[in-house]
Amino acid sequence: MKTILITGAAGFIGYHICKNLLNSNINLIGLDNLNSYYDISLKNARLEKLSGLAKEKNASWKFIKGDLAEEKSLRNIFNENNINVVVNMAAQAGVRYSIKNPSAFLKSNLIGFCNLIQICREFSIDNFIYASSSSVYGGNKKYPFSEKDEVNHPVSLYAATKKSNELIAHSYSHLYNIPCTGLRLFTVYGPWGRPDMAPMIFTKSIIDGKPIKLFNSGNMYRDFTYVEDIAEIICKLIEKPAVSNINFNNEFPEPSSSWCPHRIFNIGNNNPIFLLDFINLLEKEIGKKAIFEYHEMQPGDLEKTSADITLINDWIGFKPKTKLNEGLKKFINWYKYFYRI
């Protein structure tokens, strides 16, 4: 059977990928360092859920606590398991947090990433998929964001580390012919979400009757994408590794593909929504009005994100299918259940 390693398995997206893959006839290994960036009990609850589902489905599942920055222990995992595919969702997240604590991002997103892809090279991995971010588009003002656009003006260290990951992956793909697929993820929401992300912050504030901090006076747009749609896309990419673009023109290089097996895809919803309209949908679902507190734009934030998803649809024939009101209903139902509201 194929063995797949999911890093960041106790994280928001990592959990949903693992949950989806438990339906497959594979050996599934989850890796996570369970750091304290946000509530560890939520991460442990995700892992408990995965263990329970694995028993129900009689699936091959193993969790390992470990850190990508610890090269020796990471190499031991590959020595002890015949890993074929790696999906790297492990990273230090948070645009604003990268301004406060840059060293955490250098350790996880650069050193950890380099350790992992080097070991993937040593063990001849068949398919390497890694999370990038829509934040790499930085100062771009052309909408929707396209993978064919240049991304040379990041506005946060977090974005810079994600752009660096794309460059490192391309170099390894060129040097060692490793199929690498980078995913520029747009704002993700859904059950088991991260407490530091807007949907969770807004929901908690509305329920608790506390003010929501609206930066840029709420004049922002986000391309919210439902997490289970993202997990389904990634599972399809596991079955379709990156390949060389035989039509690649070195004189007019296209950033989304290469002469080597490296591809970059936007993973978004292609339907940006005004932030106040998003909050209005939350209010209707919760049955309570929000209180607002207006602030200036935060350093590192983007005013608008909007994904052109033509390339991923052409590649695997899939578009996100969950409508925002449907996804928010599922999210709020989970939130009330999990937090006993």
Q: What pLDDT score was predicted for residue 95?
A: 65
pTM of this structure: 0.95
Q: What pLDDT score was predicted for residue 163?
A: 96
Residue percentage of the chain with pLDDT more than 90: 80
For residue 108, how many C-alpha atoms fall within 13 Å in the half-sphere facing its CB?
26
pLDDT band for 224, please (50, 70, 90 cuts): very high
Residue 191 has pLDDT above 70, yes or no: yes
Positive or negative torsion for Cα 222, 99, 163, 89 = negative
- Candidates 97, 101, 235, 243; CA nearest to 180 is 243
What is the tens place of the pLDDT at every residue in 173-187? Answer: 999 999 999 999 999
Q: How far apart are CA 95 and CA 86, in angstroms?
A: 25
pLDDT band for 118, please (50, 70, 90 cuts): very high
- Candidates 151, 83, 159, 154; CA nearest to 116 is 83
Q: How far apart are CA 44 and CA 336, in angstroms?
A: 18
Taking the domains of the chain in order of start, what are their residue ranges?
3-193+224-270+306-321
Q: Rounded mean pLDDT of 94-99?
A: 68
Residue 92 has pLDDT above 80, yes or no: no
Contact status, residue 30 vs residue 50, Cβ threshold 8 Å: yes
Both tokens assigned to 14: 């990592």
Which architecture does CATH list for 3-193+224-270+306-321?
3-Layer(aba) Sandwich (3.40)
158 is catalytic: yes
Instruction: Give the gyration radius of the chain's Cα atoms.
Output: 19
pLDDT band for 96, please (50, 70, 90 cuts): low
Q: Rounded mean pLDDT of 82-101?
A: 83
**DSSP-assigned beta bridge partners for residue 307:** 145
What is the tens place of the pLDDT at every residue in 318-336? Answer: 888 899 999 999 999 999 9
Residue in 38, 97, 130, 158 annotated catalytic: 158
